[in-house]
Amino acid sequence: MSISDDFRFAFDVQGYLHLREALTSGEVAEYTRWMDEVQNTDVQALNADNPDGMKYQLNRPVSRVIDADPRFPRFLDHPAVEPFLIAFLGPDYRHIDNEVYYTYPEYKGGGWHRGVRPHPTGHVIDGKFICPMVKVFYCMTDVGPGGGEFEVVPGSHRAQFTIDHRKRLDLPAQHIFNDVKAGDIIIFNEGLLHNGRPNLSEKTRKTIIVNFGRHDAGVWTGYAPSPKTLEAVTARQREILTNTT
């Protein structure tokens, strides 16, 4: 299934898409249950095969969740997302890293950053996307103002000017995702400046995050899938994890 020209245009111009109600209420309930069951994973035991890899993991609360629970590879090729990944990265896109990520109450906020450099054309050449890295947020909780919102600077994947974004919470032309509902999906070009705002609420923002790259992308240190995972997943998921069939 291909995506519409409207989606292509929006992603080219903005660098992100906010897919509203992309997951059903039944899926949200199911995936939330999975998160509840996996959130207390012993991450040291999970990384016993590569303890040094933990230095590169977030573990808020669980990195490498695809290895921690055999149900989570579903998010590598979820039908609500895969057509977009194929359009933006190519049919042979690859996994880079994965998280169950919680933004807890009293979280102080992160810092503005980007995963790849901006590109003068916005990572499009001859009408085709050449994005090196695209990240997917499966949003499992409602997020309103003050709830540790995700934020981006739309169009910054093609920025021609620099700005000192150190120690700044707000930047010119930013977009704050303060109207998110559980079941929404956010897909964004890692060339965008992006950040997580302070969580001033009493609720934990819960997100399943998977990062993807083009066929030649390498997995980030500490996130290589285990042999056991590679045996358990589908052929398509194995291809995404290893670029082999």
pLDDT at 8 over 60: yes
pLDDT for the residue numbered 244? 63
Distances (CA, A) of 68 to 44, 211, 224: 11, 17, 12
CA atoms of 56 and 54, how far apart (whole Å): 5
Amino acid at 127: G
Task: Decide if pLDDT at 182 tops 60.
Answer: yes
Task: Report the C-alpha gap between 154 and 173 in whole angstroms.
Answer: 7
SS (H, E, C) 166-232: CCCCCCCCCEECCCECCCCEEEEECCCCEEECCECCCCCEEEEEEEEECCCCCCCCCCCCCHHHHHH
Q: State which amino acid sits at residue 9.
A: F
- List of residues 6+ apart from 64 with CB closer than 8 A: 43, 46, 47, 57, 98, 222, 223, 225
pLDDT tens-place string over residues 195-217: 999 999 999 999 999 999 999 99
pLDDT, tens digit, 9 for 90 and up, residues 83-93: 999 999 999 99
- Residue 121 is predicted with a pLDDT of 86
pTM above 0.85, yes or no: yes
- Answer whether residue 107 shows pLDDT above 70: yes
Structure tokens at 178: 């303060």
* pLDDT for 245 beyond 60: no
Helices 5-14 and 82-89, axial angle in degrees (round to 10): 60
| Per-residue model confidence as pLDDT tens digits over 21-61 | 999 999 999 999 999 999 999 999 999 989 999 999 999 99
Per-residue pLDDT, 91:
96
* Structure token pair of residue 70: 């055999």
**Under a CB-based contact definition with an 8 Å cutoff, are residues 186 and 134 in contact?**
no
170: confidence class by pLDDT, cuts 50, 70, 90: very high
Phi/psi at 159 (nearest 5 deg)? -60, 140
Tell me: the pLDDT tens digits for 108-127?
999 999 999 999 888 999 99
pLDDT at 1 over 80: no
**pLDDT score, position 23:** 98
Which single residue is written with the structure tokens 């059903």?
24
